Structure 1
Amino acid sequence: MSGRGGWQLKTWQFTAAAAVAGLALASAAAAAAGPWDSGGQRTAESRRAASGTGTGDADHRTEAGRPIPAGSGQITPEAPAVLAPLEAGGLAPRTGQGAREAAAGQAPPPTTTALKGLLEPLLKARGLGPGATASVVDAATGQELYGSGAKTAMVPASTVKIATAAAALSVLGPDHRIRTTVVAEPAPGYEDGAAPERIVLVGGGDPTLTARAEAGGNASLRTLADRAAAVLKKRGARTVRLAYDTSAYSGPALHPIGPNENIAPVSALMADEGRLDTSRSGPAPRTARPAQDAADAFAGFLADRGVTVEGAVRQATATDQAEELADVRSAPLSALVERMLTHSDNDIAEALARQTALAAGAEADFAGAERETRRALDRLGVPLDGTRFADGSGLDRADRVTARLLTSVLARAAHTDHPELRPVLTGLPVAGFSGTLAGRYSGQDAADGTGVVRAKTGTLTGVNSLAGTVVDADGRLLAFSFLAGSTTDPATAQSTLDHLATTLARCGC
């Protein structure tokens, strides 16, 4: 069962996976497609990694070249030996000719027969229930090495966010930023200064817009108030009337699951994802009126800056005659995708689905987002048979995707033909260290996957899924997806999924 690579994970294998070495293993030319965001962030990270200092895209570091134990309070190791040759266009040195061939994607991939023998007993385990499906793809070639019900459409839960991310990145690009603006409306019938300036806070669909004093890299309502107040004062406007505009989105704001601590009403204007307690991450009480609350907060920030808001803050639609006074922009789409995938952020997921619709000139509602997500994935050549994208987050049980769809997206994200999709890989949680996998891979059956498996989780009642990438014992990058729709014990199901991914990591077969 140990095959050529044996059961013991090698240090190079661990560090390669922890630094998203899939791109190196898929093609030594991957670096030529960077930088990956508008600020050249990914190129800078590679250089820091090559020097052995600093942090990488998932806050990995190096400690004497050894894996840092999960749960130690430390962070995962970097992989300078993998990233440094990428920038030089070379191959990652390990030991011997076989290692160099593996880095170039030339080592033999696992055989279908071997994978079937290893994976099928786990897929049929009681923990996953009947009908679990799987797909394993060689990322270097896109060839499916193993499939079990891979074309069967299943409820994906949050693994659908992989598709949401790929669609948004392919349409908008990783550098895209979501704008929130303040515009001034003309005041007909009044001479200059005879009436309060009429301004509108226009939402562009950025759920990460923040009202906090510390923005943490997000667009800030306070910064927007700074900029708008400065312009207004120059115009002699110390008193204004304020409205807010959410017309960028249409259709129902409430998700089909109803009021829920996992997601706010979907609005083109909100602050801090509508959280009533911004100190909490994960599920948290949400406001029923995110746009009104954001506009009220903005009114308060204007007052703090010497511009008084007269009367009630009401909803309105900015006219074509409005003059832009100020704006703030979100972090790049690449960063939003990574945050969404790492932390399974439902609000960002729904926003990105609507941004995909907006980019196509479609209605930015649930139906428009589904239609344009399908079109974007179809252009990427992703198989769509039987699929349904009822939402962008995976909270809706009407969603359907196949295991093959997910591995197809992941394989394309690893290919140098699609550098714009790279955040789909870099955003995946690292087993045992980050995001929704931080507390997993501690059991005996899956511990060897720590730091090697990178995957998106999916969990609903009776539904458990896992899809991501892993470097096997021969140095081959594999994309995998496992979908189970009849589970009765979430803990056992998650443990079995983790064991499946770890089995791929151990495979030298």
Structure 2
Amino acid sequence: MDRARRAAAALLSVSLVLPSAAAAYAGSTGDGAAGGSTQEGSVVAAQAAVRPTVAPSPEPVLRSVGAGLTVDPAVVSTEIEGELSNAWLGDSVGLTIRDVATGEHVLDRNSDSALTPASTTKLLAAAAIVSTLPMDQPFRTRVVTGPEPDQIVLTAGGDMMLAGGRGDPDLVEGHAGLGDLAEQTAASLGAEGLGTADHPVRLRLDTSYGEGPNAPAGWTDFWLSEGYAGPITMLGMQQHRAIPYDPSPRDPAQAAAIRFRAELTDRGVVVGGGPATEVPRLVAPPDATVLAEVESAPARDVLAEAMASSDNGMVEQLARQAAIADGAQADPAAVRDWVLQQVADYGIDTTGVKLADVSGLSDGSSIPVRVLADLLILGADGSHPELQEVLGALPIAGYSGTLWDRFALDSQAPAVGVARAKTGSLPGVTSLAGLVVTRDDRLLAYAAIADGVGRDGTSGLEARSVLDSVVAELASCGC
């Protein structure tokens, strides 16, 4: 996905608030990245070739949902039996289908089995994030005075999608810009007679906000170096977000600081240090004067972008911010444990859940499909309004996010525009969890994981298509 398409994709992250199950459809990429050791490079390359890409911004397509007619579990089982027995899924498959209005288990196959979830793990992370972070508040990047009179400090505040120049308030990605921040800073310095040839300033970088390891222990250097995930950072530019084969800088905050110095220079501010000289780090004084400040889009829109694009680093970063706000530590293991506790606090039985990270990229995670469906039900039935922020971020079948180029077969057309889901893909794994409207206007929640799929690209594509067909059968079901 090139940079222009990714900028267009940022428009997908406008949040769709779903007030109840009856309105859950009145209103999204890459998944957990494939990867492993260097020896697995051929597998990774094959998987990367079939990874979903983020769609351009679609027009609204989802329709309102009425109460609809209840479904007959026996008919549903008959309709999808062929798909569930398809050899492309392998021999390790979990599926649950639930009636949103009643909570009834329409169909369960290995729904309590702990399976590898891939990026559907992000549903748990998102559910934890919305329980703590104020969704209407932005993340702020500031420039403040330093401990010495000629110092100014660029201070991280959680925005990793800053534009390099001017921001665009109509976008989520690049909503705020380092150019805007530099312009404000230049004005403040000019008023004080600083930033001139006689009184140059020295720029410093404060990354103490949310500071911690740049990756969970399970992320290999290969994943970072190949762009399947970017470092966890509280300051970065939208152009440096990781995509496969186009990795982030090793230190996105430092890269942003160097760009900020260039933006200051362009505005006539005399700043010490050469164009590529590393900006020294320090912690700004607690009583520092704010010289400039820019704000990201609201947190709900940032979360929606993270979910629509299945950005591993961004989901980990948002979860870290939420965990810290709730009193937890910043290290990935503490954030992982915090997410699991937040999910349990919704009243969900987390038996069988094991999280190696909160994005689904690391080896060692397992989640029963029952847990994914439980979260979807709690959001769609209106009992936990905060979870509606999560549902509003799910891609729409055939239109947006990781689902924009799926459901392409004629037999899968019934699901286009009437299903949405969080996808997941790793070598040997495909998963899908979301909501779908039946032909009789009944809203169903579903979660499916197949983690015994062949590890080549063809097997991944075919297994993914089988799951699409399952959802299409539900959409077309007059049952």
Quickly name the TM-score band, shorter chain normalised. 0.7 to 0.9
Whole-angstrom distance in 2 between the partners of 1:22 and 1:271:
28
TM-score calculated relative to the size of structure 1: 0.76
Q: What amino acid is the match of 1:297?
A: R
Instruction: Tell me the SS of whatever aligns to 2:229.
Output: coil
| Residue equivalent to 1:392 | 358
How many angstroms does 1:330 deviate by?
A: 1.5
Instruction: Tell me the SS of whatever aligns to 1:309.
Output: coil
Seen in structure 2, the aligned counterparts of structure 1 residues 342 and 79 have a Cα distance that, compared at 3 Å, is: closer
Q: Which has the larger radius of gyration?
A: 1
How many angstroms does 1:23 deviate by?
A: 4.8
Q: Is the 8 A contact 1:229 1:302 kept in 2?
A: yes
Q: What amino acid is the match of 2:338?
A: E
Instruction: Give the one of 114, 117, 123 matched to 1:162.
Output: 123
Whole-angstrom distance in 2 between the partners of 1:164 and 1:283:
26
Whole-angstrom distance in 2 between the partners of 1:123 and 1:175:
41
Whole-angstrom distance in 2 between the partners of 1:265 and 1:179:
19
How many angstroms does 1:496 deviate by?
A: 0.3
Instruction: Give the one of 91, 96, 103 matched to 1:135.
Output: 96
| 1:371-409 CA distance string (max 9 Å, x none) | 221222122222211212322322112222221111111
What is the 5 A alignment of 1:273-284? 274-275=240-241, 284=246
Residues 1:173 and 2:130 are matched in the alignment:
no
Instruction: Give the one of 228, 252, 257 matched to 2:213.
Output: 252
What is the 5 A alignment of 1:320-469? 320-469=286-435
| Residue equivalent to 1:14 | none
Which one has more relative contact order, counting CA pairs under 8 Å at least 6 apart? 2
Q: What amino acid is the match of 2:357?
A: D
| Residue equivalent to 2:270 | 308
Q: Is the 8 A contact 2:19 2:385 kept in 1?
A: no
Q: Is the 8 A contact 1:257 1:395 kept in 2?
A: no
Structure 2: which 5+ runs fail to align? 1-14, 29-55
Whole-angstrom distance in 1 between the partners of 2:178 and 2:139:
14
Q: What amino acid is the match of 1:477?
A: L
Q: Which moved more, 1:403-412 or 1:486-495?
A: 403-412
Whole-angstrom distance in 1 between the partners of 2:116 and 2:138:
31
How many angstroms does 1:493 deviate by?
A: 0.4
Instruction: Tell me the SS of whatever aligns to 2:330.
Output: coil
Q: What amino acid is the match of 2:71?
A: P
How many angstroms does 1:76 deviate by?
A: 5.0
Seen in structure 2, the aligned counterparts of structure 1 residues 478 and 200 have a Cα distance that, compared at 3 Å, is: same
| Residue equivalent to 2:248 | 286
Structure 1: which 5+ runs fail to align? 1-19, 32-45, 47-56, 59-72, 83-101, 188-195
| 1:46-81 CA distance string (max 9 Å, x none) | 8xxxxxxxxxx67xxxxxxxxxxxxxx99555467x
RMSD: 2.8
TM-score calculated relative to the size of structure 2: 0.80
Q: What amino acid is the match of 2:416?
A: T
| Residue equivalent to 2:203 | 242
How many angstroms does 1:449 deviate by?
A: 1.4
| Residue equivalent to 1:230 | 187
Whole-angstrom distance in 1 between the partners of 2:18 and 2:253:
40
Q: Is the 8 A contact 2:167 2:180 kept in 1?
A: no
Seen in structure 2, the aligned counterparts of structure 1 residues 294 and 447 have a Cα distance that, compared at 3 Å, is: same
Instruction: Tell me the SS of whatever aligns to 1:208.
Output: strand
Seen in structure 2, the aligned counterparts of structure 1 residues 293 and 23 have a Cα distance that, compared at 3 Å, is: closer
Instruction: Tell me the SS of whatever aligns to 1:207.
Output: strand
Whole-angstrom distance in 2 between the partners of 1:350 and 1:419:
23
Seen in structure 2, the aligned counterparts of structure 1 residues 270 and 79 have a Cα distance that, compared at 3 Å, is: closer
How many angstroms does 1:165 deviate by?
A: 1.4
| 1:75-125 CA distance string (max 9 Å, x none) | 555467x3xxxxxxxxxxxxxxxxxxx71x2x4422332333333442232
Residues 1:197 and 2:197 are matched in the alignment:
no
Whole-angstrom distance in 1 between the partners of 2:85 and 2:380:
29
What is the 5 A alignment of 1:16-165? 23=18, 26-27=21-22, 75-76=58-59, 78=61, 82=64, 103=66, 105=67, 107-165=68-126
Instruction: Give the one of 185, 206, 209 matched to 2:162.
Output: 209
Q: Which moved more, 1:320-329 or 1:350-359?
A: 320-329
Whole-angstrom distance in 2 between the partners of 1:74 and 1:171:
29
Whole-angstrom distance in 2 between the partners of 1:336 and 1:244:
23
Q: What amino acid is the match of 1:201?
A: L
Q: Is the 8 A contact 1:246 1:268 kept in 2?
A: yes
Q: Is the 8 A contact 1:127 1:492 kept in 2?
A: yes
Residues 1:185 and 2:146 are matched in the alignment:
yes
Q: What amino acid is the match of 1:229?
A: A
Instruction: Give the one of 478, 484, 491 matched to 2:461.
Output: 491
Q: What amino acid is the match of 1:272?
A: Q
Instruction: Give the one of 468, 473, 476 matched to 1:503.
Output: 473
| 1:430-452 CA distance string (max 9 Å, x none) | 11111211111111331221112
Seen in structure 2, the aligned counterparts of structure 1 residues 197 and 501 have a Cα distance that, compared at 3 Å, is: same
| 1:1-37 CA distance string (max 9 Å, x none) | xxxxxxxxxxxxxxxxxxx999577247x89xxxxxx
Q: Is the 8 A contact 2:162 2:177 kept in 1?
A: yes
Q: Which moved more, 1:307-316 or 1:158-167?
A: 307-316
Q: What amino acid is the match of 1:225?
A: A
Q: What amino acid is the match of 1:181?
A: R
How many angstroms does 1:504 deviate by?
A: 1.0
Instruction: Tell me the SS of whatever aligns to 1:368.
Output: helix
Q: What amino acid is the match of 2:387?
A: L
Seen in structure 2, the aligned counterparts of structure 1 residues 421 and 24 have a Cα distance that, compared at 3 Å, is: closer
How many angstroms does 1:363 deviate by?
A: 1.7
